[in-house]
Chains A and B, each alone.
Chain A
Amino acid sequence: MLGYILKRLFSAIPVLLGISIIVFLIMAMIPGDPATAILGSFATPENVEKLNRDLGLDKTLFQRYFIWLGNILQGDFGRSYSLNKNVIDEVVERFGATLILAGTSFIMCSLIGICAGVLSAAKQFQLTDKLITFIVLLGISIPSFFLGMMMILLFAVHLRWFPVSGMWPIYGARDLTALAGHLALPASALAVVATGVIARLSRSAMLEILRQDYIRTARAKGLDEKIVIWRHALRAAMVSILPILGIQAGFVLSGAVYIEMVFQWPGVGRMLVDAILKRDILLVQGGVVFVAACYVIFNIAVDVAQHLLDPRIKT
């Protein structure tokens, strides 16, 4: 098992390199003089010169890539001009907030999605199934940013159950209850689409499994139907549901950008959008590379979990 984990981590290296190359090339596409693009036309000559040196523009593209790669490997992502702060510090701090939001949302959509899918499959063609299928269709179609706004209107403005936005109360203690209250709306809004997708795909995975001979065997053994569905069938279906969860995690992370804007959540998505609008290229570059790398690592974890789940795959 340990060998497999190491092998998998090892195989991530070319992917991570690829990511760095892609991001580097995209940033190299910036038309015109990057220093003026970044600093605006009112930049002082000293600043322009300093930035040009920071970006290594006097060297070839090839050399620049390796210098940059060497730097980020040491955790040096450069300095943000708009915030006057080290990029890595800002990114890590913001990514923490995003993780809280996206993580909560991911757990929500996995649990609810799988349960809904299993129920739907177990009651195929019955009322429960039709109801779930319809709700899922609605959930998949609604843009998360619009849903978030409508949730603010209903639950925060009209019903006053939850705060309108932000991660912490402006006054008062920054404790877990305060966080949970602030988290409830954005996490739910973010979870809806992924929940729908997971429910849908879990349903078809379950339908596939329920037709298998070993489910008939489980029933022929006289097992309770709940055990047949939730243990025998779901266990086998999880093998194909897990990769779906891995993919959906990427979508939740992506959707977080919109939700962070709607709910003023101090996450990395909002940071990126702000950075783009302020043309803070180094901040964008660092944020994208960092989050993408984390996502690659996460997917390795999913693979490993998949491995633990299915003894038929050889280690």
Chain B
Amino acid sequence: MSAMPGEKAVIDRERLNDLISILNRQGYTVIGPTMGEGAILYDVVTGIGDLPAGWGDEEEGGRYRPVRRSDQALFGYSKPAQGLKGHLHPARQRLFAAERAGNGFRVLKDEGKAPRYAFLGARACELAAMRVQDKVFDNGAYRDPHYFAKRDDAFIALVTCAQAGGTCFCASMNSGPDATEGFDLKLAELGSTFLIEAGSERGAAILAQLSPRPATDADRQAGVAQIAKARQQSRSMVEGVGPMMAARLEHPHWDEVAKRCMTCGNCTMVCPTCFCTTVEDVTDLAGNNAERWRKWDSCFSVDYSYIHGGAVRSQGAARYRQWITHKLSHWVSQFGVSGCVGCGRCITWCPVGIDITAEAKALGG
């Protein structure tokens, strides 16, 4: 069968091994879910054996537990602990190195080659987050070379969710659990088979090598039912949250959240769209060699809002407000999209379980 973009086919689950080897042969490092230390994490995968067969997850505000499933599903969890941000926009990135030359300095040529990534099992919300970051790192006038060196060529084999996690609310953010574009392949796990379709030519070329057979009506219906199930989510974002937030910049609730918020920054670190960085220069003791590094930063740190004379946002209330209003409101004016895709990671991984949907509701009330 020749696979046309958009046309649904079925492959056996063992074919994922072929998919991974084909991608490897094409020079991709395949990143997929693995059962890590205490949580499902993205890491290099070389075959089905590396995937978290039979593992699911339980998530609530401030709580995560991997749990055994009653079946051997490979993608039976909601989402890995940290998303794919760390691969495209790493926590530490060297921008350049330089050495002293006379009275000035010389920038050294960067010999490093960006890895070529294929993301197997990316969720709809994660793809949505990448597309948000695409806008951040390319504003038309400036295109961040470090991000796009990895992003431009990244191969995306999306796997839609069979069920939402306890903190997911993508349905109300229109960013999941299904995706209609932006992937090379889209899969849905149906027992021992996968419903699969190509979203690009290179995806179609690979799909043709996976012994696909045409999907039956029953396969298609199972796929539709699965998405409908994943759409049932216990959390949702309040309607019209952007304008609402913008009108609540002064509100007693900010002090109330600040009593609970530890300004620890976990929410920004795990958020797949948060992009803020700080730049650090390091020198050797003699001052002959220097490097400039870009590191993840958080609007919850005091230095983040430091301008000469002091930090603008010295209070926790101001920092929480900055974070949530940027995500849900100002991001839209800045980048034309919401800064939140509803993945729920900030809720799960907040050590005290502060819930962006609940805080938005409390502010809207």
A interacts with B: no
Q: Which A residues are closer than 8 A to B by beta carbons? A: none
Q: Which residues of B contact A (CB under 8 A)?
A: none
